[in-house]
C-alpha cells in the first residue's frame, strides 16, 4: 500500500494562540541558540518558529512552565 500526500488535500488550521510573552520567548530562544546554534542553526529556527511560537501557544494545550 502506498500513500501519497497531495498539496491541498488537508484542511487549513488556524488555532487560537495564547498571547506571546516576549521575555519568556527570548529566554527560550536564547537557550536553544546557545545549545544548538553553533552546530545546527536550522534547529534554532524551527524550534523558535514551530515549537515556541506555534505549538506551545495553542490554547488546547496546558501552558508550559519552567525553562
- pLDDT, tens only, 7-50: 676 666 777 777 877 887 788 888 888 888 888 888 878 877 77
| Predicted model pTM | 0.46
Give the per-residue pLDDT at 10: 65
Burial class (CB in 10 A: 0-12, 13-18, 19+), 56: middle
Contact assessment for residue 44 and residue 3, using Cβ atoms and an 8 Å cutoff = no
Which residues in 22-52 are b (16+ Cβ under 10 Å) and which e? eeeeeebbeebbeeeeeeeeeebeebbeeeb
Per-residue pLDDT tens digits for 58-67: 777 776 665 4
Amino acid at each position: 500500500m502506498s500513500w501519497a500526500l497531495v498539496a491541498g488535500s488537508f484542511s487549513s488550521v488556524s488555532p487560537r494562540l495564547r498571547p506571546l510573552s516576549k521575555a519568556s520567548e527570548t529566554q527560550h530562544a536564547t537557550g536553544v541558540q546557545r545549545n544548538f546554534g553553533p552546530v545546527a542553526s536550522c534547529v534554532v529556527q524551527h524550534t523558535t518558529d514551530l515549537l515556541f511560537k506555534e505549538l506551545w501557544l495553542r490554547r488546547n494545550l496546558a501552558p508550559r512552565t519552567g525553562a
